[in-house]
Amino acid sequence: MKILMVLTSHNRLGDTGHPTGFWLEEFAAPYYVFKDAGAEITLASPAGGQPPVDPNSQAEEALTEETRRFEADDAAKRQLADTRPLAEVEVGDFDALFFPGGHGPLWDLTENADVKRLIEGFLAANRPVGAVCHGPTVLLQARTPEGEPLVKGRRVTGFANSEEEAVGLVEAVPHLLEDALKGQGGDYQRSTEDFAPFQVRDGLLVTGQNPASSAPTARLLLEALAS
């Protein structure tokens, strides 16, 4: 079982001057779900090398059992520091594809040609695709073989408008993910309260709403892979 995880290379939060990147829990929790299930994990990013970590995700209040496990895992940290350039990875080398979130992907993964190539290629090969929190932004450019938006008529989730409002970044982001998914005809679903775990599977497509959904979304991806 070989799983490709794709992270952002973008490190600036719009015009705010603040740093951003990927959210540590949204990487670490799925990473260990996959690793503990016996998967061989490959990490990639648009620029290759070390992807930027959102420093807010390393604050004490954001730490979890999985992020602490990662911080003590020298082999995992070396792997993260040496991600493969996205242009060099091929669909046929992997069984499943997963996108952690953080705000960074909104800028550099939403309209990335290699991301589009991979998502469409994995689904065409009957291989599952998963994304969590802001990660589902990668689905916005993907199309069906008929040329329709991939998310049209499909059950999906992602970081909610109310959650973006709660973290005070509505004006900073290039688009609100909930609105963008709905705008393409996605059947957007969410938890009844902000920041509660929520994940949904529609066939080979698996999405999670927020950081708390990271591990459950990864487990749902494994279910899709097994079936």
| pTM score of the predicted model | 0.98
- pLDDT, tens digit (0-9, with 9 covering 90-100), for 90-147: 999 999 999 999 999 999 999 999 999 999 999 999 999 999 999 999 999 999 999 9
User: How would residue 170 be classed by pLDDT, with cut points 50, 70 and 90?
Assistant: very high
**Residues in the chain, total:** 227
- Residue 43 phi/psi, 5-degree rounding, is -110, 140
One-letter amino acid at 215 equals A
What residue ranges define each of the domains in the chain, with the CATH number in brackets?
A: 2-226 (3.40.50.880)
Q: Give the bridge partners for 143, in sequence order.
A: 149
Residue with tokens 């015009």: 15
Rg, C-alpha atoms of the chain: 16
